[in-house]
Amino acid sequence: VTVKYYGKASHAAAYPWEGVNALDAAVLAYNNLSVLRQQMKPTWRVHGVIKNGGVKPNIIPSYTELEFYLRAPSMKDLSVLTEKVENCFKSAALATGCKVEIKGGENDYYNVLPNKSLQKVYKENGKKLGIEFVSEDCILNGLSGSTDFGNVTFVVPGLHPYFYIGSDALNHTEQYTEAAGSQNAQFYALRTAKALAMTALDVIFKPSLLEEVREDFRWVKLKE
């Protein structure tokens, strides 16, 4: 979400009372969200930056801009979080006398809908190839980023496995980038690709499995 505050410029020393400080609104909004975090669910995430905070210290800023990402495990949770966050933005405008413009992102990233039938077959195929799997609790309780593949799973059944690449480096770090491009990681990537291909073949050649996958898909969408 992009948030823009519009105030009124004035000389900060000579006529500060003539100004409407858009930077004050941005700071209040940022602090409002910091306070909100105390009441946020552990699985919710709100993080952002002030992209435009003014021009010169002696000019009361007439314009500021913030950009934030909102994350939650489900679209239902996200709608609740979004309302709370937007109230933080609006109240900052009210307190400072600024006008506020709140614009959502061009694309929302949906949560990934699970498909137990696909997961089961993939796990069976993976074990045949020597893949070790973590417990389901670790997956459900683990935190992750966003992916547009979640949007795909609302249209067709899907499977989105994570896999080990031979390194304990954390994602989105230089160390992970280096590890992902190493020769050692290719073994794990190819093994995962084989397990996915084997799963696809099972779906193609086993009509009963295909029907189970479809039924899981229908059931999970109903719950959403």
Token pair belonging to 109: 């990233």
Q: 5: which strand partners?
A: 64, 100
Cβ pair 160, 111 in contact under 8 A? no
Would you state the pLDDT for residue 66? 98
Task: Note down pLDDT in tens along the chain; length 224 residues.
Answer: 999 999 999 999 999 999 999 999 999 999 999 999 999 999 999 999 999 999 999 999 999 999 999 999 888 899 999 999 999 999 999 999 999 999 987 778 888 899 999 999 999 999 999 999 987 666 556 556 778 898 999 999 999 998 999 999 988 899 999 999 999 999 999 999 999 999 999 999 999 999 999 999 999 888 77
* Residue 11 tokens, joined: 């000389």
The Cα diameter of the chain in Å comes to: 80
Please say whether the structural domain 2-103 has been given the CATH code 3.40.50.300.
Answer: no
Q: Residue 141 class from Cβ within 10 Å (0-12 exposed, 13-18 middle, 19+ buried)?
A: exposed
Instruction: Using DSSP, state whether 52 is helix, strand or coil.
Output: strand
Residues 151 and 111: their CA atoms lie apart, in Å, by: 7
pLDDT value, residue 139: 59
Beta-carbon contacts of residue 117 (< 8 Å; ≥ 6 apart): 209, 212, 213, 215, 216
Query: Which pLDDT value is given to residue 75?
Result: 85
Q: What is the distance between the alpha carbons of residues 92 and 69, in angstroms, rounded to a whole number?
A: 18
Q: Which of 107, 85, 120 is nearest to 203 (CA)?
A: 120
Instruction: Determine the pLDDT at residue 221.
Output: 84
Q: What is the pLDDT of residue 74?
A: 85
- pLDDT tens digit string along 10-23? 999 999 999 999 99
Distance, CA of 211 to CA of 204 (rounded, Å): 11
Q: What is the pLDDT of residue 107?
A: 79
Return the pLDDT at 147. 85
**What's the half-sphere exposure (Cβ side, CA atoms, 13 Å) at 203?**
21
Instruction: Give the model confidence (pLDDT) of 89-121 as tens digits.
Output: 999 999 999 999 999 877 788 888 999 999 999
